[in-house]
Amino acid sequence: MKDRMRLLFSALFLIILGSLLVGCEFSFQVGLEPSIDQVVIARSVDEDQRPLEPTSTFGPEDVFYASVIVSNLEAGSQVTGKWYFGDEFIDEATLTITEAGFSGYVGFDLTSDTTWPLGEYRFEVYLDGELAQTASFQVSE
């Protein structure tokens, strides 16, 4: 009789505990640090800023595009892209993220009213002021 009571109380306890847990939501988020995952230099980007025609070589009259893949950015995070010709700074742009937990693509482009000098270029991407990645490319005939 004692064993049956113990079994009955144990079963009742498990049923009550299970009922309580059904209404709970558990979320374990491991390794979800904000990050710059990849930079792709391309001839263009689509409407979602995904790279189209990735390349490392442009012509003197081309527009440069950089598609940056980001993960888990907080609202207010700033992604800055800086363009260089050799060691000479050309231009920069900063995008501020408005969506908490944003993951996806952000895009940058660089145009010129004149032709680009031939040579080596680079694009640096910063997350909240910290250099995250660099991508190199060139302009040739």
DSSP string across 92-128: EEEEE--STTEEEEEEEEE--SSPPPSEEEEEEEEET
Whether the predicted pLDDT of 30 surpasses 80: no
| Per-residue tokens: 84 | 């260089």
Confidence of residue 123 (pLDDT cuts 50, 70, 90): very high
Q: How do residues 45-65 score in pLDDT, each as one tens digit?
A: 999 999 999 999 999 999 999
Give the up-direction half-sphere exposure of residue 5: CA atoms within 13 A in the CB hemisphere. 2
Q: How do residues 66-117 score in pLDDT, each as one tens digit?
A: 999 999 999 999 999 999 999 999 999 999 999 999 999 999 999 999 999 9
Question: What is the rounded distance in angstroms from the CA atom of residue 108 to the CA atom of residue 93?
Answer: 7
Question: What is the rounded distance in angstroms from the CA atom of residue 67 to the CA atom of residue 38?
Answer: 8
Tell me what pLDDT residue 47 has. 97
Tell me what pLDDT residue 119 has. 98
State which H helix or E strand residue 136 sits in.
strand 130-139
Confidence of residue 22 (pLDDT cuts 50, 70, 90): very low
Radius of gyration over alpha carbons of the chain, in Å? 26
Tell me what pLDDT residue 14 has. 46
- Strands annotated E in 21-118: 35-45, 51-54, 57-58, 64-73, 78-85, 88-96, 102-110
Question: What is the rounded distance in angstroms from the CA atom of residue 134 to the CA atom of residue 50?
Answer: 18
pTM greater than 0.95 (yes/no):
no
Contact (CB, 8 A) for 79 and 36: yes
**What fold is seen in the domain 35-139?**
Immunoglobulin-like (2.60.40)
Supply the DSSP symbol for 24: -
Tell me what pLDDT residue 32 has. 84
